[in-house]
Copies of this chain bind each other. A is one copy, B any other.
Amino acid sequence: MTIRYPNGKKYVPAQQTGNRQKTNLSFSNRGKTLEDELNETNDYYLANDLAVIHKKPVPIQIVHVKYPARSAAVITEAYFRSPSTTDYNGVWNGKYIDFEAKETKNRTSFPLQNIHEHQVDHMKKVTEQDGIAFLLLKFTSLDRYFMLSFEYFEKKWERMLAGGRKSITLSEVEELSIEISPGFNPRLDYLAALDSLLKKPETETIERQENL
């Protein structure tokens, strides 16, 4: 599945108008992590039968567990394992959705060291199976959110592997991503953004077929 991105065009949810909301959102966002915002969004999708997308539990290596009489088992020694997949996956309208969400405090670029190599491999394999893989990036200092398809991310990853820069500049992110304006509910309507992107190629295909 090819995702065509409108160069630097911002996705604005229909219900959002004017500058007033921007000020409010900047306020309501204080202290919330991207994970909180995505959990709220996914809860909204689930409650409204729009999608079933969950964050995966953090992978833990359990070494020792105590079983006290008459109470719950206690894990007394365990270690964090590095994730072999992305954080979020699920199903939306028959489509498999898979993404990694990352925050950066950087104001001018997204550092690629935020993403593990095995996560890149995972997203590549998902794309090969006709799943939809993308990254959801938050520039916390700028309070801006972007959805970057794996297809475009991979090009910048390969640039790094070829000895190029170890980050994606903000202007590249602006050009290649679809920007998501946060809202009240859902907080980050990434599926609406994805929907508008996926509809484009279909229209083009229909036009091409009509021209045959």
Indicate how many identical chains form the complex: 2
Contacting pair A72 B79 (CB below 8 A): yes
Give the CA-CA distance A159 to B188 in the complex, in Å: 40
Contacting pair B91 A129 (CB below 8 A): yes
Question: Which one of B57, B95, B96, B122 lies within 8 Å of A60 (CB-CB)?
Answer: B57
Contacting pair A80 B75 (CB below 8 A): yes
**A58 proximity list for chain B (CB < 8 A):** 57, 60, 62
Contacting pair B52 A91 (CB below 8 A): no
Is the CB of A98 closer than 8 A to any CB of chain B? yes
Chain A, 45-71, CB within 8 A of any chain B CB: 46, 49, 51-52, 54, 56-60, 62
Give the CA-CA distance A60 to B61 in the complex, in Å: 11
Contacting pair B79 A77 (CB below 8 A): no
